[in-house]
Amino acid sequence: MFRWITISLLAITIVGLAVFGYKEHQDKNAILIQAENSYQRAFHELTSDVDTLHDKIGATLAMNTRKQLSPQMAEIWRLTSEASSDVGQLPLTLLPFNKTEEFLFDIGDFAYNTAIRDLDKEPLSEDEIAGLEALYKQSGDIRNELREVQNMVLEDNLRWMDVELALATNEETGDNTIINGFKTVEKSMDGFQQTNSENGISSRPDEKDLSHLKGEEINKEDAIEIAQNWFGKVEPDEFTITKSGKGADIPTVTAAFNEDERNGYMDMSKQGGYPLTVMVARDVDDTQISLNEASKKAATYVDKLELKNMEMVESNQYDNVGVFRFVYTKDDIRYYPSTVQVKVALDNGEMLGLDAVEYYSRPNEEINKQPALSEDEAKEMINPNLEVQENYLAVIENEAQETILCYEFLTTKGDETYRIFINADDGTEEEVETLKTSEQRYDMDVS
């Protein structure tokens, strides 16, 4: 009797494990399918946007009236923004693609500044027209290469998840047709950057340059030790260490781990091992600590970077996560180009994310000038329907990537809060931000 009971219990256990394993397999497959669909959508939208972009630039060169030129430039700017967003959704972080991204930035920046300027007073110069012709050639080259990759993807039913795996593991074998295709796209950009710069099209500074960072190049053991310092109890052999591809705009080393209920990755600079981005993915339980408590936790994570004179300027809550923004401050001036952002779980105060790329890629370029306008004069430039709550001196970058001194005003209107930057030299309203509040929760009654 006892024997049959034992056999029955074992059978039930085996069936239960089989069902559990099958369900887990199905769940993982569902996640992989969703990720694959997302990658496919982003890629095909990128191909379509670049195709349309090429046509729009060509039409611009054929135009003879300034009335049509401004809206056409605005449309080109919109397309470059969408294309850049598409690139950001593809698994290309370990693949050098910076030249193509710079192309999209250059044309978007030029199109935006052309769209908003008075073309009657300042028409396109001969150099700018020559620059547009070069951009037309560039966009045509990218279009053709992307179409070729797209054709191979559709004909051979290639999967983007294989691309992500190959990049993450530095796998050289196997069918990396998509990777090779994107490398060809990148190579087609050689020689165009200098042409764009000479024609006044390229104005982008090397904002992600980390060559100024001090320290020796780190090896695998160094990377694991740094990662353990941030992730806590993760065994050394659980980390996967990868290096960025040759020619990447930011030479990095990535440490990643994957546990049952928690996984994460960390990008650190190859030079000196400075933490650039940190991410921890796990389920966050109900809120146990306040946003104020979480902000103090966030400050300790910034202190861990050993940065000086960092001030928290913004805090937001999204469900059970707090997001905090810190900027470098000196002599009561906030330097917004030098920013660190931190995400903190509101169940136990654990850091879920950190982004210090902007801080490390932009050395603290202190501004040595006094404002030409007084605080009261700058305040007169603000919409009179807004109520000023606080004000500071701040350094920001304008649309032309110029570093400028501003008065920063925190203002309110009803339940809305705005951060407004007024140029301290001429009173120009440089930037207006709507400050986010805690996300509204909607509890659905499914009974």
Q: What is the pLDDT of residues 40-65, one digit of tens each?
A: 787 778 888 888 888 888 888 777 66
Type and span of the H or E element at 325: strand 321-330
**What pLDDT is recorded for position 433?**
85
* Domains contained in the chain, CATH given: 22-198 (1.20.58), 220-361 (no CATH), 375-435 (3.10.450)
Closest CA to 102 of 34, 161, 185: 185
Residue with tokens 């109890």: 233
* Least confident stretch, 47-51, 123-127, 199-203, 338-342: 199-203
Q: What is the mean pLDDT of the chain?
A: 77
pLDDT at 171: 52
Per-residue pLDDT, averaged over 168-187, amounts to 60
CA distances from 437 to 230, 314, 322, 415, 418 (A): 29, 10, 11, 9, 11
pTM: 0.58
Share of the chain above pLDDT 70, in %: 71
Q: How many other C-beta atoms can be found within 10 angstroms of the C-beta atom of residue 271?
A: 18
Which range of 190-199, 240-249, 278-287, 433-442 scores highest in mean pLDDT? It is 278-287
**When comparing pLDDT for 416 and 441, which is higher?**
416
Q: What angle do CA 292, 294, 298 make, to 5 degrees?
A: 115
Q: Please state which of the ranges 22-36, 171-185, 296-310 shows the lowest mean pLDDT.
A: 22-36
pLDDT per residue as tens digits for the range 227-250? 999 988 888 888 888 887 655 666
pLDDT value for 174: 43
Phi, psi of 98 (to 5 degrees): -70, -30
Place of tokens 């397309």: 79
Give the pLDDT of residue 259: 80
In which band, very low, low, confident or very high, does the pLDDT at 439 lie, cut at 50, 70 and 90? very low
How far is it, in rounded angstroms, from Cα 206 to Cα 197? 13
384 burial (CB, 10 Å; 0-12 / 13-18 / 19+) is exposed
Average pLDDT over residues 116-125: 75
- Which pLDDT band, with edges at 50, 70 and 90, does 179 fall under? low
Q: Does the pLDDT at position 167 exceed 70?
A: no
More confident residue, 106 or 421: 421
User: Comparing 132-146, 374-388, 414-428, which segment has the lowest mean pLDDT?
Assistant: 132-146
Q: What are phi and psi of 281, to 5 degrees?
A: -110, 125
Q: What pLDDT is attached to residue 151?
A: 79
- Kindly tell me the burial class for residue 268, based on how many C-beta atoms sit within 10 Å of its own C-beta (0-12, 13-18, 19 or more): buried
Distance CA 271, CA 246 (A): 15
Distances (CA, A) of 48 to 38, 77, 92, 135, 332: 15, 15, 19, 17, 48
Mean pLDDT of 400-410: 86
Structure tokens at 396: 């920001």
- For residues 286-310, one letter each, b for 16 or more C-beta atoms within 10 angstroms of the residue's C-beta and e for the rest, the string is ebebebeebbebbbebbeebebeeb
